Amino acid sequence: MSNIQLDIEWTEAASRKIEKLMPRNANKDSYLALPPVECLPMEGDVLFLGPSGKQQPFIVAERQYHHDGDADWTIILILDVPQETH
């Protein structure tokens, strides 16, 4: 059985945008819900993230796979914002 870890990284523009939507110090219970690993988005897919009613589009700019040894893997989604919002 594999052990798969999911990490999300943000471009600078995406980081600024998500920080406005979900400031780190606003609510310690805030989190982003993502689909299960078998349903993860591919490069070019759009995810709508943020608090209920205020979701904003983020594009999966890159999806990386890192083999961490044995059956351990890390999948990294690098999120960006649509070009017109840069």
Write the pLDDT tens digit of every residue in 19-75. 888 877 766 556 677 777 778 899 999 999 888 888 999 999 999 998 888 889 898
79 against 2, higher pLDDT: 79
Q: What pLDDT does 85 receive?
A: 52
First to last CA, the chain: 41
pLDDT at 1: 65
What pLDDT does residue 4 have? 83
**Cα three-residue angle 68-74-76, rounded to 5 degrees:** 140
3-state secondary structure 10-71: ECHHHHHHHHHHCCCCCCCCCCCCCCCHHHCCCCCCEEEECCCCCCEEEEEEEEEEEEEECC
